[in-house]
Amino acid sequence: MAHRSGRHFLQIPGPTNVPDRVLRAIDRPTIDHRGPSFGRFAQGVLADIRSIFRTEHPVVTYPSSGTGAWEAALVNTLSPGDRVLMYETGHFAVLWRRLAERLGLVVDLVEGDWRSGADPAAIEARLAADTGHEIKAVAVVHNETSTGATSRLPDVRAALDRTGHPALLLADTVSSLGSIDYRHDEWGVDVAVAASQKGLLLPPGLGLNAISEKARAASSAARLPRAYWDWEDMLAANARGFFPYTPATSLLYGLREAIDLLHEEGLEAVFARHRRHAAATRAAVEAWGLEVVCRVPAERSAAVTAAFMPGGEGADHVREIALERFDLSLGAGLGALADRVFRIGHLGDFNDLMLQGTLSGVEMSLELAGVELAGSGVRAAADRLAHGDVEVGVGT
């Protein structure tokens, strides 16, 4: 293949661009993961990652993808045949549901339209009807990257509290942690699922669970088989900065740098930057005359925007043009939205000019695909970045 000059625009909603400082940290020589230097280093990382989740409670890390962290959340807290209330917000909610069913759990599904976040009122109604408290956990995807919709986790917590239901609250924060406001302790989440390759500014390879006291107590009675994913084995070793098996040492070096980067910018500033870029991206989509997938303005994601193709298909052709002509990777439509939507990731290590370059590539690709545009999305986004206010919402 011929060399392509310039940078590749990786604008899928994860994996995201990795900052140079993190890449340099990962490039450090490997040291003995059972030696005292590593133990001291890992203790610091494991203590400081709590600040990104905004929790005082333990966070465990696994050499895994987010899927592994999904499984860890379930097997450490539940038993075969337990009922789990799950909300169908999109493709990743569907995948988490399938995993739960394969583990022998009974899923009580609230069906969704793939155009909004989880409805706290619908969850509350299911919990209120469960007078025998057979539902042991409620599992919600905080930010559904397949649709660009963010669920109102504090309102889901309030639904649990109003019904007096003792179920655990499990939240997938894979694409929200480090990108969208998330408060583990304040919102009463029992287990957060996260991964390294999105707002945490790292390559894929680390799965994480933030664990409440209630979740850890539940794990003592949970009977789903677990070995690799066992929290107690992990926490016992972590107390001294070690792991029950070989950790992803290079990624932990990168995680140390990523935590520092997020705090140097300030978490509130990070979230505001993501909201600003999301608002500009939606301004571009609307100027093109396309429709944003998430129909609820207050639930539109700060991490990713999904847009429908006019006519209902052809998104993959636009993505092919973007890659071949402009070296730009856009997110594919997934599951029920395959070929119907393209997704623009605007999360992680990202700035105004990178966004404008991305939107220019999308606009040119749409034109080359023969899509009749209502106007210039690039111009609309530039106006928004230069002069516009950012609307306030859950995901925005």
| Annotated binding-site ranges for substrate | 343
Residues 11, 342: Cα–Cα separation, whole Å = 11
Secondary structure (DSSP) of 178-244: TTS---TTTTT-SEEEEETTSTT-S-S-EEEEEE-HHHHHHHTT--S--STT-HHHHHHHHTTT--S
Q: Which residues contact 217 (CB under 8 A, 6 or more apart)?
A: none
User: Can you read off the two tokens belonging to residue 261?
Assistant: 């980067």
> Residue 314: which region, alpha, beta or left (left: phi > 0; alpha: psi -120 to 50)?
left
Residues 234, 168: Cα–Cα separation, whole Å = 21
340 in Cβ contact with 379 (< 8 Å): no
- DSSP structural state of residue 158: H
* Torsion angle, alpha carbons of 89, 93, 97, 103, to 10: -160
Q: Point out the annotated binding site.
A: 343
Of 335, 347, 343, give the one whose Cα is nearest residue 114: 335
Q: List strands edge to edge, sheet with 291-292.
A: 9-11, 328-332, 341-345, 304-308, 291-292
